Chain A
């Protein structure tokens, strides 16, 4: 598959800047978790890796995207707006009274499939959707995005076992492996390493990739989607929590950190 790397890089820079601006106006948003996943969402929506139809967000011909780490998807808002799921002006109203764009997204937002505020639900619901699509003879895929800390939830491992049992080769899991949960480094809380080996032991294929290298990430997601592995596929995107905001990148507590408007202005080079 041909991927326009330059375009993906350009979109990632734009989305990162817009995410920071949204955060400046809505400091309740989880910016660090959202910044680590920027390239994941960009590759899906601008890399030809997720069939979508903004004019009909529930188009049966779409691929299903479940953003299980819902809080960490504020960076998806500028993408959905740009693709035409809702007007761009809505981005200026995030977390304001009357807006449908909250600090944690719900499927009242066009482009979101499920309720994601509580962690650990996406893999199981995604497995159910993937099973349904297979039984219905559909060739559509289900893409689930989780964080790494989210994998502490036991229900995800129930889902991983289930997906392997039913050989759900239309289920793609992308782990935004930013190595941090809320209070500390994930490895210092409950370690997940070796994560790829865990997936393989559970009957999944697993690829590890730099989650900020759009060329490598798009290639890994594309390979997971089109490969002939007879079961579910995991892409572990190794990322940096707070990517693009140095004060967040180095802070183990960045999950709950808020950037000041001045920091955002310095990072984005001023107002849009």
Chain B
């Protein structure tokens, strides 16, 4: 990790603000969830900004109605609330309806994983990847840094369809250069050593931890390929398999429950068959709620998600 830390939501909202200034068909909804940058959106575009109040079900339904009438809609709330409080509204009015009628709706959830580290399980998004992955016609986008979040804002407005954008609440350094359009299209970007026999595939905040594990292993003479998986619904798995073809050991790393339909399921079910020689290990949160308060990295380390523990886990796969 290096460089100044920036909030994903700030870069996303700044990009949206610029697009709202340039086009009159972008509408912003929030479920009483704000930020200083969003205050600017509210001030500059009062005719295209509505706070629906603490009502995520209505947030999604109103977003649908606006989108049916031609607006490109952003709906903004806390991550577990905008995915699970209103899951049926998303299923009926976005996933099913968008298969029949074109809609452009971007659901933005802030608070990926343990982001809200002192708020406990109600505010932590631990199941959102699995839940949203289950819905056809809904993209699941997971940026690891502010530059990626901004790029995804533009990609959402330039496309058509429905997607869930999972933002971290903490300021984070850029993982690397902003993703290129081609990387966004493929849904992943690469780091570390090309041709390495070991790889870590991670998403969001965990892509930063993956970089730390990689650096530690490479300092010890073990080359590692890292993959920042940005698209958790429909990445270009054939392209990813081609990049990881030399790998004999692959660690997946996510800040969500393992074995419950998250990124590990996506990769285990759909990528692993394309890489039959690789030995896999899936790291994430144990399927259990935790009520401990703590620095995020301590909460993760308590579940074996620390640099040394993960490095040891990958080495174990390399040596298996």
* Chain A residues proximal to chain B, CB less than 8 Å: 106-108, 113-115, 117-118, 121, 123-133, 135-136, 154-155, 158-159, 161-162, 166
- Given contacts A121-B61, A158-B58, are A114 and B68 in contact (CB under 8 A)? yes
9 new A-B contacts at CB < 8 Å, known A118-B88, A129-B69: A107-B97, A107-B101, A114-B93, A115-B93, A128-B63, A131-B50, A132-B69, A162-B58, A166-B50
Distance between Cα atoms of A154 and B88 in the complex (Å): 13
Residue-wise interface mask of B (1-34) relative to A, using a CB-CB cutoff of 8 A (1 in contact, 0 not): 0000000000000000000000000010000000
27 pairs from A and B in contact (CB 8 Å cutoff): A106-B100, A107-B97, A113-B68, A114-B68, A114-B93, A114-B97, A115-B100, A124-B60, A125-B62, A125-B64, A125-B65, A127-B58, A128-B67, A129-B68, A130-B65, A131-B62, A132-B65, A132-B68, A132-B70, A135-B27, A136-B70, A155-B58, A155-B61, A158-B53, A158-B57, A159-B61, A162-B58
Closest residue on chain B to residue A142 by CB atoms: B65
Q: Are A124 and B47 in contact (CB under 8 A)?
A: no
A130 to chain B: which residues have CB within 8 Å?
65
Nearest-neighbor residue (CB-CB) of A109 within chain B: B100
CB distance from B57 to the nearest CB of A (A): 4
Nearest-CB residue, chain B, relative to A117: B92
Q: A162 to B62, alpha carbons, bound, how many Å?
A: 9
**How many residues of B are in contact with the other chain, CB < 8 A?**
29
B65 engages A127 (CB within 8 Å)? yes
- Closest chain A residue to B29, Cβ basis: A128
Name A123's closest neighbour in chain B (CB-CB): B61
* B interface residues, Cβ below 8 angstroms from A: 27, 47-48, 50, 52-53, 55, 57-58, 60-71, 88-89, 92-93, 96-97, 100-101
CB distance from A130 to the nearest CB of B (A): 7
- Of B55, B57, B66, B92, the residue contacting A128 (CB under 8 A) is B66
CA distance A114 to B97 in the complex (A): 7
User: Shortest 3 CB-CB distances between A and B: which pairs?
Assistant: A128-B65, A124-B61, A132-B69
Mostly helix, strand, loop or mixed at chain B's interface?
helix
B52 pairs with A162, CB closer than 8 A: yes
- What residues of B have a CB within 8 angstroms of the CB of A113 in the complex? 68
Which residues of chain A are within 8 angstroms of B48 by Cβ–Cβ distance?
Answer: 135
For A121, list chain B residues within 8 Å (CB).
61, 89, 92-93
Q: Does B65 lie within 8 Å of A131, measured CB to CB? A: yes
Query: B65–A126 contact, CB under 8 A?
Result: yes
Closest Cβ–Cβ distance, residue B108 to chain A (whole Å): 17
Nearest residue (CB) in A for B47 is A135
Contact present for A154 and B57 (CB under 8 Å): yes
- Report chain B residues within 8 Å CB of A126: 65
Complex CA–CA separation, A20 to B100 (angstroms): 29
A107-B101, A115-B96 are known contacts. Are A133 and B69 too (CB-CB below 8 A)? yes
Residues of A within 8 A of B70 (CB): 132, 136
CB < 8 Å neighbour of A161 from B27, B53, B89: B53
Are A132 and B71 also in contact (CB < 8 A) when A115-B92, A125-B65, A126-B65 are? yes
Q: In the complex the two chains form, what is the Cα distance from A56 to B166 in whole Å? A: 38
A107 to B98, CA, bound (A): 11
Q: What residue of chain B has the Cβ atom nearest to residue A165's Cβ? A: B53
Give the complex CA separation of A108 and B65 in angstroms. Answer: 17
Check B93 against A125 for contact (C-beta < 8 Å). Answer: yes
Instruction: Please indicate the chain B residues that have their CB under 8 angstroms from the CB of A106 in the complex.
Output: 96, 100
